[in-house]
Amino acid sequence: MDRRTFLKMTGMGGAALAAGGVSLGYPRDGLAAKEDIGEIKSLKVTVLSETSWFNNDVFKKNMMDGGGAMGNQYETAWDKGNSGGYSALLEIEQLDGTKKKLLMDTGWNNDWMDYVFKMHGVDQMIKKKEIDTMVLTHWHLDHFWGIESTLKHNPAITIYAPSTHYPEDLKLLRGGKFEKAGCQNSVPHKGKLIECDASKVVKLMPGVALKMFDVPIILRVRGENVLYFNVKDKGIVTVTGCCHPGILSLYSFARNNFAKGDDVYGSYGGLHITLFETWDPKFDDIIKGLKAFKPEKLACNHCTGWLFAEKAAAAGLPIVKGTDRFKSYKRTSSVAKSSHAFLTNGDSVVF
């Protein structure tokens, strides 16, 4: 039912509703001059691991026993045999042809992350400083607690991370152990820790910008770093860990703040929607909102949830399908369906 029909039908509260339909037109974030972040030639993302845990029911039970979505991740007893991790390798080609590698996130379970890094040669890339920078998207266990797997190859690696950390986060980063939660790091970080706050956009290199969104997140985490790429002749690409701020808020930020930011090409990463295999009316809103931006390539996984990927694809959104590569890993998620709903472990995508 549209507004007009509703007004006709009810004939009450009409004035208020009409006022509700009139655009007041406040262009939030849009008053300052839009920033030109430059351009890159291309971006390749390899999914090192998107299986943060292998059994959803076990993870959920741990979470509920630990105080639910608002509990503290460090005070929850996580089932050690269930943890994996989230991490991706980003290969950027600049306009002049030079290539640069970035590590995004470092997973959760160290055994799993060691295995994953070795499988893709990431351990050597860190050791040889082909990768000298890690972008930590947020301080969630499945993105950060595997920090030792990175630091053991180079404790001096530069880390960009949200400034919204808790004392426990820094303790783990600097070498520490949490018995109950079952995480530890025995290699203190010695490199630069660049703290990103919501007030400004950090430019990592031409065409690559990092923006922190200061939002509250489940398990007492706050703030998420989002990578924006401007790919020549294609448009804006967002790369996220979990995308807790919401994919449309990311697109909206680009549109309001970056030159040519309304030209969204696509996305990679978790979108934090149907991770627990539930649906909600507001997820239908997301599909509708995404369609309005007309993205050309949506490569999602992890906390996006296969349900959303399938529904979005059915609704006509360009979801990039996964392959059988995940079967070459020693362990697979109980959630991974053979339907290849989205990119999973070992898959890659080029923007």
Partner 1 sequence: MTEKTAPSPAGYLKGTAVFLSLAALNISCWYLFFSPKGIMRLYTPMYGFSIIVVLLAAVVTFSVLFDGWPLAKGAGSLPSAGRGAGLTLLSLGLAWFLIFGLFYNFIGRFGVTYFSPAAIVATGETGSEIFNARENASTALVYLFSTFIWLALTWRLGFRAWPWHEERAGALAFSRFVTVSLFSVLAYSVLFHPHVGVLFYPPQKMAAVSPWWETLADTNSAYFHLGWVVCSVAVVILSEALWEEYPWRLIGGEKRQAPFLRGVVTLFGTVVTGFVLFIAMKKGMELYWGRPFVGGQYLDAPYFRYLHAAEMAGFVILGALIVRTYLGNLFAGSVPLVRGIVRTGAALLLGALIMWFYYAAGPALLGTVPGIAQPEDTPLCWSFFMISFILVHRNFFGAYPLRIDP
The residues with which 298 forms a beta bridge, in sequence order, are: 267, 319
71 interacts with partner 1 by CB under 8 A: yes
Residues numbered 213 to 252 that lie near partner 1 (CB under 8 A) are 215-216, 218, 220, 222, 245-249, 252
CB of 84 to Fe ion, least distance (A): 11
Binding region for partner 1 (CB under 8 A) out of 5-13, 36-44, 98-106, 190-198? 5-13
28 interacts with partner 1 by CB under 8 A: yes
Gap between the Cα atoms of 248 and 35, Å rounded:
19
| Residue of 218, 222, 295, 285 whose CA lies nearest to 254 | 295
| Residue of 323, 316, 320, 317 whose CA lies nearest to 346 | 323
Q: Are strands 158-162 and 183-185 parallel, antiparallel or unpaired?
A: unpaired
242 interacts with Fe ion by CB under 5 A: yes
152 interacts with partner 1 by CB under 8 A: no
**Residue 144 or 258 having the CB closest to Fe ion:** 144
140 binds, among Fe ion, partner 1, none (CB under 5 to 8 A by kind): Fe ion
In 73-157, where do the E strands start and end? 87-93, 99-104, 131-135
Residues numbered 260 to 299 that lie near partner 1 (CB under 8 A) are 276-282, 284-290, 292
Instruction: Count CB atoms within 10 A of the CB of residue 101.
Output: 18
Q: Encoding tokens for residue 146?
A: 């595997």
Gap between the Cα atoms of 146 and 113, Å rounded:
7
CB of 61 to partner 1, least distance (A): 8
Gap between the Cα atoms of 342 and 335, Å rounded:
12
Q: Which residues bind partner 1 (CB under 8 A)?
A: 1-3, 6, 12-13, 16-17, 19-20, 23-29, 56-57, 60-61, 64, 67-72, 215-216, 218, 220, 222, 245-249, 252, 276-282, 284-290, 292, 307, 311
Which positions touch Fe ion (CB under 5 A)? Answer: 140, 142, 242
